[in-house]
């Protein structure tokens, strides 16, 4: 059985995160895989609002979770939002996604969040299935408003 660890992703991990980000994008958009973009991975790791947990098996990063800590206007407390959860194809079916979600939930308990909002993509289907096993549907609908660049 592989040795598994979950820890915050740091700048030193950006080169390992980059190919996972490319695979995640391909999973969502289909088509040819993109080139791993280490610069973008570094920007994401250094982002002031996003936090990333990485899941490693025997030292190899095979999954990540990107989450936010937000104000909850209804309670006056804080809430979490799990925006992205991805497991590389050859590591699926071994509980990696579940473990990452549980790690974010545990972080929420430490921070005393009122709840965790989980943004789940419509594809692939197994992403939705994990959320349906672990969570209840929330009272929100998600919409996307394109924002045009002015520069």
Omega cis (within 30) before 124: yes
pLDDT tens for each residue of 40-63: 999 999 999 999 999 999 999 999
Please list the residues that pair with 80 across neighbouring strands.
69, 116
Are the CB atoms for 80 and 72 separated by under 8 Å?
no
* Structural domains of the chain in order of their starting residue, each with its CATH number: 4-134 (3.40.630.30)
Residue 85 above 70 pLDDT? yes
The pTM for the full model equals 0.91
Distance CA 24, CA 125 (A): 14
State residue 63's pLDDT score.
98
Give per-residue pLDDT as tens, 111-130.
999 999 999 988 777 788 99
User: CA nearest 20: which of 66, 74, 79, 64?
Assistant: 64
CA 4 – CA 81 distance, rounded (Å)? 24
């Amino acid at each position: 059985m592989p040795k598994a660890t979950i820890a915050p992703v740091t700048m030193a991990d950006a080169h390992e995160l980059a190919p996972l980000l490319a695979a995640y994008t391909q999973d969502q958009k289909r088509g040819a895989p993109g080139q791993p973009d280490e610069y973008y991975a570094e920007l994401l790791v250094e982002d002031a609002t996003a936090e990333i947990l990485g899941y490693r098996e025997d030292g190899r990063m095979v999954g990540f979770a990107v989450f936010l800590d937000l104000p909850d206007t209804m309670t006056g407390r804080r809430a979490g939002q799990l925006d992205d959860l991805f497991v590389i194809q050859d590591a699926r079916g071994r509980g990696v996604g579940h473990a990452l979600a549980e790690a974010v939930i545990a972080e929420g308990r430490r921070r005393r969040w009122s709840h965790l909002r989980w943004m789940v993509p419509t594809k692939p289907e197994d992403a939705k299935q994990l959320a349906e096993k672990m969570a209840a549907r929330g009272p929100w609908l998600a919409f996307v408003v394109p924002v045009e660049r002015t520069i």
